[in-house]
Amino acid sequence: MDLDPALSALRPLGGFSVLRVSRTAPSRRPAALAPLADVYAPEYGDGAPDVQVPLECSDPLGRRVRRVATALGAPEARVAASVAQQGLAARLWSVTLGCAVLYGQVPDLDPRLLHWDPEATAPDDLWLTEVRARPGDGVTVADVVLTTHLAPLAEAVHTRYGVASGLLRGNAASALAGAGRELEGWARRHGRTDTAARARSLTAGLLAHPLLAGTGTLTGTSFRRRSCCLYYRVPGGGVCGDCCFPSPPGPARPPRPPGPARSLRPPESARSPSPPEPARFPSPPEPDSLPRPPEP
């Protein structure tokens, strides 16, 4: 099935997968929209204002990080930057995987055509000005999302906020696994077994891509990453269901005196309470098979 101009097949999949398409800005705040090419632009990294661009349009990445930091009460800019990067990655994966599986084609998400509202709530508000069809194979999907978007996004976040490159790769992989899991679950609930199999196969193949290989382990639809997104540093936050940590890391403590051996894993009663579920900036749902309350 060819891509339709409105990408209407994505609508039943939910908010993370829907992509608005129109030649004119659909937002009530059109001045706030920015092409994603601006998000990755290195000139914002020095913090100098661009006097040629209205304030509400300048530095979209910086505005998004501040928006997330305010919404979550994040104490460090790098924590908000990590959450913002993973949220945008989840949207890009969800849109592209959904199109690849349902249409057999994907839209060209050229960063000059794909616009973003950094002041919006979650899921991230994306708007594509024109649908240009590309093949829906794994190589093309990797090029559309990883090479074109997530690699330059990670570079910008690493350079500006000091977030570790390995952590950002883990965020991209976690977002992919979550998007694939949600798509497969939707397909199975609707009796579309071929679609579910395609979603699982495509997700597994993308996780083996050189830019994501080694970021974690995929077992069925459950993913366990080898890094942490830093969400535990948000007040009231906990660890995500696919985190490398079984519980939030604590501050350094003096060594214990010699004594009986103790388990390195705290008992269930000592683990961090479930994080609150804010109305804004949620991550994709976590796998049921992992020990984690609903993801905020």
pLDDT in tens, 90-121: 999 999 999 999 999 999 999 999 999 999 98
Residue pLDDT, tens place only, 14-37: 999 999 998 877 766 777 789 999
Confidence of residue 249 (pLDDT cuts 50, 70, 90): confident
Show me where the domains of the chain are located: 8-45+52-248
Percent of the chain at pLDDT > 70 equals 79
Confidence of residue 292 (pLDDT cuts 50, 70, 90): very low
Residue pLDDT, tens place only, 216-240: 999 999 999 999 999 999 998 889 9
For β-strands 20-21 and 114-117, DSSP reports them as: unpaired
Question: Regarding predicted confidence, which is higher, 263 or 58?
Answer: 58
Yes or no: say if 83 and 231 are a contact pair by the CB < 8 Å rule. Answer: yes
pLDDT score recorded for residue 258: 40
For the residues 171-181, what does the mean pLDDT come to? 97
Residue 89 pLDDT greater than 50, yes or no? yes
